[in-house]
Amino acid sequence: MPTPRPPGHADAMTSIDVEELTKEYGGTRAVDHLTCRIGPGRITGFLGPNGAGKSTTMRLMLGLGRPTSGTATVGGRPYATLREPLRTVGALLDAQAAHGSRTARDHLLHLAVSNRLPARRVDEVLAETGLTAVARRRIRTFSLGMRQRLGIATALLGDPPVLMLDEPTNGLDPEGIVWIRHLLRRLAREGRTVLVSSHLMNEVVTFADHLVVLGRGRLLADVPVADFIDHHSPPRVRVRTSDPVRLRAVLLARGHTLAEDDDGRWVVDGATAEQIGSVAAREGIPLLELTDERASLEQAYLALTATEAEFTAAAPTSPATSQET
Ligand SMILES: Nc1ncnc2c1ncn2[C@@H]1O[C@H](COP(=O)(O)OP(=O)(O)OP(=O)(O)O)[C@@H](O)[C@H]1O
């Protein structure tokens, strides 16, 4: 089992720092003056629509490719200058990258030996990722989910304080998704820096503590998950009563706005079930149903990235230039 990091592990030792990072491919600016710090002891969800620049940013953090300008450092140093990179940063970028003709165990053993890591780590990470039983099977026979677990095992091999995982839930079944949530939480609790990319806000908020959202290479949000939820998903209550006329009058008098939905329930924005329940009790209005409900975070996220996505989707296609015939 990896050793827990001592408390007070200096932030700068394990944080990922991105400063004015820009990467252009020909005419495309994949990352655009991005500045953020990914801190230790928490899971940072890295979100953005397709093509927002998440993978490019992670690749630059890992020294794969040179920035057009700006810097990305891990523990204050560019990845390329780390003396024992696998002991510092564990990454899952492309789960398909492993050599198909090797067994999972040989693949890990090869990496361990070439990085001067103890061979016992191989069996530890195989156990940790649930791959012990298939360790001697060739990787080409692995399902997508098994490859994903192997990619995670590879990332964990050097017991690194920093982890970067690009879409780690890709291909995992529901049990695998629950497993990875627990794993990520534990890694963060141990004081590690955990950066996880995803497209899905609703998924990310189930495990992340912090969010960094990109749109067309630019930073759109860098906030704690709790703040994002409070900001973008205000409280809302759904209520059913046998006396809607009085409930409406009482709530309007208190400054609430309410609207009736299709099935006869009333929706009160900006209120909690506790508030509405107390008012109804005081006024003697019978309630048949009372439910706290948050607006969809996915919708808030879509609204945040909408301009960026629209821009990407709005490629002009005039009939005169259309290739479709
Ligand atoms: N090697 C490359 N050559 C040219 N353009 C590239 C290259 N890699 C990425 N891009 C472009 O850079 C932009 C950002 O891509 P990137 O893969 O970083 O986004 P992403 O947020 O990871 O997207 P996805 O969620 O789809 O994986 C896109 O417009 C992409 O086409």
Q: Is the pLDDT of residue 319 over 70?
A: no
> Reduced to 3 states, what is the DSSP secondary structure of residue 181?
helix
Using CB distances shorter than 6 Å, the residues near ligand 1 are 25, 28, 30, 48, 50-56, 199
Nearest atom in ligand 1 to the alpha carbon of residue 199 is: 25
Q: Is the pLDDT of residue 322 over 50?
A: no
ipTM of the shown complex: 0.96
Distance of CA 252 from the midpoint of ligand 1 (Å)? 50
Phi and psi, residue 157, nearest 5°: -50, -45
- Specify the higher pLDDT residue, 141 or 298: 141
CA of 155: how far to CAs of 111, 125, 299, in Å?
11, 9, 32
Distance of CA 99 from the midpoint of ligand 1 (Å)? 24
Nearest atom in ligand 1 to the alpha carbon of residue 57 is: 18
Domains of the chain plus CATH, in order, are 11-223 (3.40.50.300), 234-294 (3.30.70.1510)
What is residue 84's predicted lDDT score, i.e. its pLDDT? 86
Distance CA 14, CA 7 (A): 13
Mean pLDDT check: name the lowest of 89-93, 187-191, 202-206. Answer: 202-206
For residue 264, what is the DSSP state?
A: S
What is residue 201's predicted lDDT score, i.e. its pLDDT? 86
Q: Which helix (H) or strand (E) holds 292?
A: strand 287-294
- Ligand 1 site-directed mutation target among 46, 54, 68, 219, most atoms within 8 Å of CB: 54
What is residue 232's predicted lDDT score, i.e. its pLDDT? 78
| Mean pLDDT along residues 284-299 | 86
Q: Which of 88, 53, 86, 87 is nearest to 74 (CA)?
A: 88
Asked whether the beta carbons of 67 and 21 are under 8 A apart, the reply is yes
| Mean pLDDT along residues 242-259 | 92
> Reduced to 3 states, what is the DSSP secondary structure of residue 64?
coil
Nearest atom in ligand 1 to the alpha carbon of residue 312 is: 29
Q: Is the pLDDT of residue 76 over 60?
A: yes
What is residue 295's predicted lDDT score, i.e. its pLDDT? 66
Nearest protein CA to atom 13 of ligand 1, as residue: 30
The rounded Cα 190 to chain-centroid distance in angstroms is 18
What is residue 95's predicted lDDT score, i.e. its pLDDT? 64
Query: Which ranges constitute the DSSP H helices of 191-293?
Result: 201-204, 225-232, 244-253, 273-283
Place of tokens 């409280």: 235
Distance CA 68, CA 45 (A): 25
The DSSP code sequence of 29-58 is EEEEEEEEEE-SSEEEEEE-STTSSHHHHH
